[in-house]
Amino acid sequence: MLSKDYGFDTGVPELPVLGAGVSLIWQGRAKEAIDILRFMTEAYPNSPDAFEALGVAYEEDQQLERAKEAYESAIRNAKKNADRRLPMYEEYLVNIKMRMEGGESE
């Protein structure tokens, strides 16, 4: 109601919550990170960052197909937003495909 009453967005702030999700990944708590980051992809469906972080969490949890799908979504959003980090997202996708094929990744 605050956004309606006062005219400013009171939604979930993207960067702090993404930071919390990434922090959980670093702590080895990928399953918890996935819950937070899935929520963020719903709250920010056009965010390449939310999908990239979700891909990393899935990858850490050995859910490689879901990681690939998340990275593909990050790429789509990066293209829509003309995001300069597009090559980085594309590299994540290449690496996950290599892992899925049993090859090495960086």
User: What does the pLDDT look like over 43-75, one tens digit per residue?
Assistant: 999 999 999 999 999 999 999 999 999 999 999
The pLDDT of residue 94: 97
Domain that holds residue 89: 2-100
Confidence of residue 11 (pLDDT cuts 50, 70, 90): confident
Query: Is 105 within the bounds of a domain?
Result: no
The CATH code of the domain that includes 36 is 1.25.40.10
> For the chain, how far is it from start to end, CA to CA, in angstroms?
47
The pLDDT of residue 5: 64
Q: How many CB atoms lie within 10 A of CB 58?
A: 24
pLDDT digits (tens, 9 = 90+) for 72-106: 999 999 999 999 999 999 999 999 999 999 865 54
Structural domains of the chain, count: 1
The pLDDT of residue 9: 59
Query: Is 93 within the bounds of a domain?
Result: yes
Task: For residue 56, give every residue at least 6 positions away whose Cβ sits within 8 Å of its Cβ, in sequence order, or none.
Answer: 22, 25, 67, 92
